[in-house]
Structure 1
Amino acid sequence: MRAGLTLMNKGTPAEGLEFLRRAESLRPTHLSTLQAVATAFLRTGDAASALERFGKALAVEPACSAALHGKGLALHALGDRFGALTAFRAMAAQDPDAWKAWQSIADITDDEGERLVAIDQAAVILARLCAGPAAPAQLLPVCADSLVQAHRHEDAREFITLNAARFRTPADACNRLADAHYQAGAFREAFFHKARALDLLTPEDIPPPRPAQLFDTVAAMLALEGISAILRARGIRFFLVAGTLLGLVRDGALLTSDRDVDIGVFRSRAGTPDIAGLVRTHPDLFLRRDARPGERYYAILYKGTGIDIFLHDTTDDGHVTCGVGDHPGDIQWRYDRFGLADAHLAGKAWQVPEDPSSYLRQTYGQGWQDPDPGFASAISSPALYQVDPYARAYYSVARARKALLTGDRDKARALLSQSPIPMGELSLFSAAPPHGNSQA
């Protein structure tokens, strides 16, 4: 049993399952063993076997919250949204500490009212559980994230500040405090806390250089085709933008250096189409808990692949704008007004801005046809419009920090060099990697 749990916690559930099933054969009605086997099955993608074991666990202990939650996850993996919601609601009704159930309800319900209540309930429960000094340290970042997801930004900032010493590291506390400030539109404070989080990293935090993890362009193309079919079925006219358009126009394929698929949609003055409603009600799409109807940007998931949907607005002065948030000074881009045209790219028909070269030149500059792996459109795009310098600097530091945590000092340095707020040379870039020699 212990060996199986160790392997599962190391991220190898298939290997751990062999040991756990041996334990199950010795104790076929032992609650913890049944739960462990069920969880291992779920993590290996065998939802049917997981559901069977969670059912056996509930036969042993009908009020077991963990088994109820696992049952809900297995049912959802099998495509039974109603059954999953029934399990999550039962768990939430019987367990006053069931924040996981509330978060799962928020993730899969198609009702916006229930979704908002569930997000808020999870935040309330986590804040209560983390109020005392004996609260598990691993719950602190979960609570901070939950408060941000509930749009309780001031509560999130206060919670992180009061509990900073209890977070795993000072850098982690600063990083989350920066994100809470940014979500509230306090870009200057967000930048300084994010810079502090970067400065608090030690050489030991940074792994040795390793080959860059390439974007799964096969899965991304399937996601692009999938979201295209969904949007077309709803009568929503969309077009390719940003890195997705750049790759298909310049290289004839999606960029291996990208992170997600980029889609544009024109928004009417009435606020339609309702992208949040579409994502919330479609079983193959996942809406982030901090997302709300009427926003101008949605980062969603389609079968594990990220998709960015940018709502584009036409202005009275002959321009088109899009961005990531509605706070004044947040990242946004402005383009010369454009219509849409059909284009045949990568063997398929798409709609694109009517003059793709002009759009790409405005987004990436005159040298858009030359690959620049260090370029970041949220920091250096010529199309950025009325953006607070501290918002750009925040993105510069945030992405540099992520690059450092993957061992990519060169990319981190390139990102910091684009910051409109000078950062200076950090000692991290000159420090030798603490892990010995490695191959790039």
Structure 2
Amino acid sequence: MPSDLSLQIEAVYRAESGKVLATLARLLGDIDLAEEALQEAFVAALKAWRSKGIPAKPAAWLISTGRFKAIDAIRKRSRLHELQPDLQARIEDIQAANLSFAERDIQDDRLRLIFACCHPAIDPSVQVPLTLREVCGLSTEDIAAAFLVPTATMSQRIVRGKSKIRAAKIPFAIPDASELPERLDSVLSVVYLVFNEGYSASSGDSALRGELSQEAIRLARLLLQLLPDPEVKGLLALMLLHESRRTARTDAREDIILLEDQDRRLWDRRLIEEGLRLVQASLATQEFGFYTVQAAISAVHAESPRSSATDWAQIVALYNILLQIAPSPVVELNRAVAVAMRDGPQAGLEIVDTLLAKQELRRYHLAHSARGELLRRLGQESQAESAFLTALSLAKQEPERRFLHRRLQSLGASESAK
């Protein structure tokens, strides 16, 4: 196959596979079968598109092909099981399913898949990992690392979740307005995790996966239309304020640029203004929560014309509120960095050391990286080198690894960092 066509098909896979999987899951009612059909559809595409070229609407082509591949697969299983009535009925259901290839319908299937994965019938400990696997396409290994559990354990959870959807016949549908509030927390959590994977990829060659960030923002806008809840506004504001800094976060080589070193002229003022309006609207309700407070922290950064003008006292105060709403080691770590900026690196280091002593963040590379940075600023270079080396051993994203290498080289530790 010509290399340029191969690259085009790879680009289609990256851009469309998530949407195609979501629609196939809705049509087939079975995530495992949808995953199998997706792969079969792309195998067929490799053959068909070689001679005919990539169709104008590749997602629709893949969905249609995947649907037929799934029917063929079920028929084969039916023959093996002597045409069991339930399998035959399943074929009839799939054939009778309403096929809509309108772009809006295909796009909304991502949200339907999220609601299915976050259904109350599914164990809460399974909902988010299952959605990250099926909506974001994250590997089981990366999800297990994020939740600090063995890969085998996480694999079992994901399998259990998919089985529950199939056995309980959980619909791939956006629930009625009356059902939305009780399911909102899980869905918001998932949308934010989708955004985070796009804004700062958990692993790989690139720090950024823009298509995931844009998808999360689109889903949040759709949620806001369905339910104008203060926390939906807060989440959308938070993502917009983060997204406004995208072009300033990396250089031409995709190396990471820290917030304090970013060229703020590159920040997207349109996204900032929209984010600020949403933050203010959410705060005005007095019914805000976790996402709105985080958005308020981002708003302080967004309103600062330069790093040195940042109101770190206000940011620490907001982190104090955030810890009351949703205490977590990561929030405590972020607060420690803010304290260091307000009161000096020694004050922040004491908090970070206390957190690491509790062991909860010992496998979290950013905790060791933050410790290394504070030690570096204190002039304790040998201890800083040790912290950066630990962070390097835990980091999976290549731009973060390059950043840590540069920090180590600045300490004269290039040989140790290899």
TM-score bin (small chain): 0.3 to 0.5
The structure where strand makes up a greater share of residues is 1
* TM-score normalized by the length of structure 2: 0.38
The structure where helix makes up a greater share of residues is 2
* TM-score normalized by the length of structure 1: 0.37
